[in-house]
Chains A and B, each alone.
Chain A
Amino acid sequence: MSNANAVLTAQAAAYIPKDEDFRLKNSGEELGRDTNFAGQAYWKEVIVRFFRKKSAAVGLILILLITLLAVVGPMISGYTYSAQNLSQKNLAPRIPVIENTGVFDGSETISTTTGSKKTNGYFDKKLTNVYYWFGSDNYGRDIFTRTWMGTRVSLIIAVAAAVIDMVIGMSYGLISGYFGGRVDMVMQRILEVCNGIPRLVIVTLLLLVLKPGMVTIIFALMLTEWIGMSRIARAEMLKLKEQEFVLASRTLGAGNFFIIFKEILPNIIGPIITQVMFSIPTAIFTEAFLSFVGLGIPVPQCSLGSLISEGYNSFTTHPYQIVAPIIVMALLMLSFNLVGDGLREALDPKLKEM
């Protein structure tokens, strides 16, 4: 034993430190890298997993497509969303080229008390060069333009509400979960009371008192939708706050808010983004519901909800007027749900598919 120690001391004594031992190794060749088990970037893996799921990819493509149309749609039709042309009202959809195949040729079947008959408003009024791709409404406005204009408004409302909810709910949940104890107690009781108030009631009452409009609707959605987000943020915070990296950060002298927003927030961004994806369709739905009840966007502006409620008035006589906004809305809600599902699985591969 003493022999071995003697050898070690002899070796240590023999080694004379050189200058380069104290130089920082920072160039690529000097540092050894494990190429056999190379680490994958987290987000890269998430993207791969996301696109491996077909439904999620389809959802994303649909969202992009609808957003694109919402941006350029009103410009390419040649009509404006509010211009009325009463001589060309209630015309059925008519699309160039496709009209030759017999569908979308501007004819519609109108059933009367004496039976149903097929009419074509374009021929009756000799409008050979007029095309309303999705038809025209009761005031002679182009439904194609209005649909994409409405999609634009609905998307703005939904995304704005979801982002504001995310900021409020996330901060609330994170702070409540991080500090715990009495702070958490009080904040959770407040949240329970807020949660006890039906969303429907709050939104309705608010819109009765305030002037209807886009900002009011966003405000109303904001007041009600942050609760789910804050619950998720709090649950994630409770899982993470006892972990070593938080302790390490605190030992290094980091303040509470640095730990919450710089250390923990980046680790829980996944579930939060997923929740945002799920809250967008909720916002679209709530907006549509408000418009249907008559508390939505004021005329002549339109949203998907107000278009549906306008089309509803004549949906037995001119069903095409309600079809376009309904399909766009259903596709939008469907694709946000699909993307949300895909993101949830991509971000958390341990979670079983639901």
Chain B
Amino acid sequence: MKKYILKRVVTAVFTLLVIILILFILMKLMPGSPFNDEKLNNDQRAALYAKYGLDQPVIIQFLRYVGNLLHGDFGVSYNISKNTPISQLIATRLPISVSIGFAAVAFGALIGLLLGLLAAFKHDTIWDTIATIISVIGVSVPSYVFALALSYTFGYHWKIFPMLFSRAQLVKSSVLPSISLSMFTMANIARFTRSEMLEVLDSDYMLLAESKGISGPALIFRHALRNALIPIITVLAPLIVDLMTGSLVVEKIFAIPGVGSLLVNAIQSNDYNVVIALSFIYSAMYIGIMLLVDILYGIIDPRIRLGKSDGEGGGRKKLRLARKGAGA
């Protein structure tokens, strides 16, 4: 187990380094130099280069860049809010994005689980069909379409919830964005719960439990749900990662002052420094979650840890996971 975790951590760190390298190369490729002022003569320019370390060999510059990023020093913003340190911009926005994302995942997982259970227990009835239709729609309709539909009906037409996010009505104005973000998670969890639950309900140990006389909630929760839950937990994490993409547009639609809308603004106003800083943060978060998932997989399913994940048994599950991950 220790060896497995070590391997995952090394891969994650290496990936992060590759990303920093890509970002560094991009920084170098960006047109223009920071000291384009015509009044500067060559000596002054050389002095400035020396001050910021730009006269050093590229490898030293790279190491310095890595150091800066790891310290949370991303430089300053050029266009969005002039000369504000980017770390400061992000610090106020990250908690909002994270809390809305968390609400979306929690809501989506809960409703998805209930829908999946309903579909499995009422297999081949009208409930099953309804749950399946809801989950197919949830998987195929992008989250920002839900966002637009919800903000038009509940926000604009019926005026139940505010159309735009405001700090004064923190909870009430987070409802619509969280729901629209949660649809994809909900649909996937529902589909997965249903298929896992059908598999579990069909198994020999459920027959044994039933023949021992266990019935009702104990049968469902202690025996069935517990075993179905393990694979469900493993799909949850890739879904959290997928939320990041969705959050960008959803934040823009509801005017949420989070990191997603900051990234969109930065892209639209060519604020490269902010784009690169946020790319780094997204990548770090992504890699962190993936690392956590990998370790969780290893703990839950020993076949993966032992490197047999692609054989007959684990292969199918991994395959489905891969497909889920790709279907973002």
- B175 within 8 Å of A by Cβ? no
CA–CA, A354 to B190, complex, Å? 10
CA–CA, A329 to B141, complex, Å? 8
Q: Are A333 and B141 in contact (CB under 8 A)?
A: yes
Minimum CB–CB distance from A299 to chain B (whole Å) comes to 15
- B290 within 8 Å of A by Cβ? yes
Q: Given A189-B11, A201-B279, decide whether A209 and B264 contact each other with a Cβ distance below 8 A.
A: no
Q: Given A228-B323, A337-B140, decide whether A205 and B26 contact each other with a Cβ distance below 8 A.
A: yes
CA–CA, A289 to B249, complex, Å? 7
Which of B145, B191, B253, B263 has the most chain A CB atoms inside 10 A of its CB?
B145
- B208 within 8 Å of A by Cβ? no
Minimum CB–CB distance from A61 to chain B (whole Å) comes to 16
CA–CA, A254 to B248, complex, Å? 51
Write out the residue numbers on chain A whose beta carbons fall within 8 Å of the beta carbon of B328: 199, 282, 285
Write out the residue numbers on chain B whose beta carbons fall within 8 Å of the beta carbon of A195: 290
Which of B46-54, B71-79, B216-224, B267-275 lies on the face that meets chain A?
A: B267-275
Given contact pairs A312-B148, A352-B198, a sample of 12 additional A-B residue pairs in the complex whose CB atoms are under 8 Å apart: A196-B16, A196-B287, A197-B22, A205-B279, A229-B326, A238-B315, A285-B142, A289-B142, A292-B144, A292-B249, A294-B268, A333-B142
List the interface of chain B (C-beta within 8 A of A).
11-12, 14-16, 18-19, 22-23, 26, 29, 136-137, 139-142, 144-145, 148, 152, 156, 191-192, 194-195, 198-199, 241, 244-245, 248-249, 252-253, 263-264, 267-268, 270, 272, 275-276, 279, 282-283, 286-287, 290, 310-312, 315-316, 318-320, 322-323, 325-328
Across the A-B interface, give the 8 residue pairs with the lowest CB-CB distance, nearest first. A228-B326, A196-B15, A334-B140, A333-B140, A201-B279, A354-B195, A198-B286, A231-B322
Write out the residue numbers on chain A whose beta carbons fall within 8 Å of the beta carbon of B245: 199-200, 289
Q: Can you list 12 A-B pairs with a CB-CB distance of less than 8 A? A: A189-B11, A192-B15, A196-B11, A196-B18, A197-B286, A208-B272, A228-B323, A282-B326, A308-B145, A326-B145, A330-B140, A334-B141
Query: Considering the complex, which residues of chain A in the window 296-354 have a beta carbon less than 8 Å from any beta carbon of chain B?
Result: 308, 312, 315-316, 319, 322, 326, 329-330, 333-334, 336-338, 351-354
Which of A79-87, A245-253, A273-281 lies on the face that meets chain B?
A: A273-281
Minimum CB–CB distance from A53 to chain B (whole Å) comes to 12
Write out the residue numbers on chain A whose beta carbons fall within 8 Å of the beta carbon of B272: 208
Q: Are B319 and A279 in contact (CB under 8 A)?
A: no
One of B11, B144, B194, B327 near A281 (C-beta < 8 A): B327
Q: Are B318 and A231 in contact (CB under 8 A)?
A: yes
One of B19, B137, B145, B320 near A197 (C-beta < 8 A): B19
Q: Are A192 and B268 in contact (CB under 8 A)?
A: no
Q: Are B248 and A337 in contact (CB under 8 A)?
A: no
Q: Are B323 and A197 in contact (CB under 8 A)?
A: no
CA–CA, A319 to B290, complex, Å? 40
Q: Are B283 and A201 in contact (CB under 8 A)?
A: yes
Write out the residue numbers on chain B whose beta carbons fall within 8 Å of the beta carbon of A279: 326
CA–CA, A227 to B15, complex, Å? 15
Write out the residue numbers on chain B whose beta carbons fall within 8 Å of the beta carbon of A288: 142
Write out the residue numbers on chain A whose beta carbons fall within 8 Å of the beta carbon of B287: 196
Q: Given A204-B275, A281-B140, A281-B327, decide whether A193 and B267 contact each other with a Cβ distance below 8 A.
A: no
Minimum CB–CB distance from B68 to chain A (whole Å) comes to 18
CA–CA, A292 to B253, complex, Å? 10
Write out the residue numbers on chain B whose beta carbons fall within 8 Å of the beta carbon of A271: 319
Q: Are A232 and B141 in contact (CB under 8 A)?
A: no
Which of B15, B19, B140, B268 has the most chain A CB atoms inside 10 A of its CB?
B140
Q: Given A199-B245, A200-B248, A234-B310, decide whether A334 and B268 contact each other with a Cβ distance below 8 A.
A: no
Q: Are B325 and A228 in contact (CB under 8 A)?
A: yes
Nearest CB in chain B to that of A226: its residue: B326
CA–CA, A329 to B287, complex, Å? 31
Minimum CB–CB distance from A291 to chain B (whole Å) comes to 10
Write out the residue numbers on chain B whose beta carbons fall within 8 Å of the beta carbon of A199: 245, 328
Q: Are B156 and A204 in contact (CB under 8 A)?
A: no
One of B139, B270, B283 near A337 (C-beta < 8 A): B139
Q: Are B11 and A293 in contact (CB under 8 A)?
A: no
Q: Are A353 and B249 in contact (CB under 8 A)?
A: no
Which of B23, B136, B272, B311 has the most chain A CB atoms inside 10 A of its CB?
B136
CA–CA, A318 to B153, complex, Å? 14
- A239 within 8 Å of B by Cβ? yes
Q: Are B156 and A316 in contact (CB under 8 A)?
A: yes
- A295 within 8 Å of B by Cβ? yes
Minimum CB–CB distance from B256 to chain A (whole Å) comes to 15
Minimum CB–CB distance from B150 to chain A (whole Å) comes to 12
Q: Are B140 and A198 in contact (CB under 8 A)?
A: no
Q: Are B326 and A295 in contact (CB under 8 A)?
A: no
Q: Are B248 and A293 in contact (CB under 8 A)?
A: yes
Q: Are A334 and B137 in contact (CB under 8 A)?
A: yes
Q: Given A235-B310, A334-B141, decide whether A196 and B286 contact each other with a Cβ distance below 8 A.
A: yes
One of B194, B253, B282 near A200 (C-beta < 8 A): B282
Minimum CB–CB distance from A177 to chain B (whole Å) comes to 8
Write out the residue numbers on chain B whose beta carbons fall within 8 Å of the beta carbon of A232: 319, 322-323
Minimum CB–CB distance from B122 to chain A (whole Å) comes to 16
CA–CA, A198 to B243, complex, Å? 12
CA–CA, A33 to B98, complex, Å? 67
- A137 within 8 Å of B by Cβ? no
- A105 within 8 Å of B by Cβ? no
Minimum CB–CB distance from B14 to chain A (whole Å) comes to 6
Q: Are B275 and A337 in contact (CB under 8 A)?
A: no
Nearest CB in chain A to that of B312: its residue: A239
CA–CA, A280 to B173, complex, Å? 34
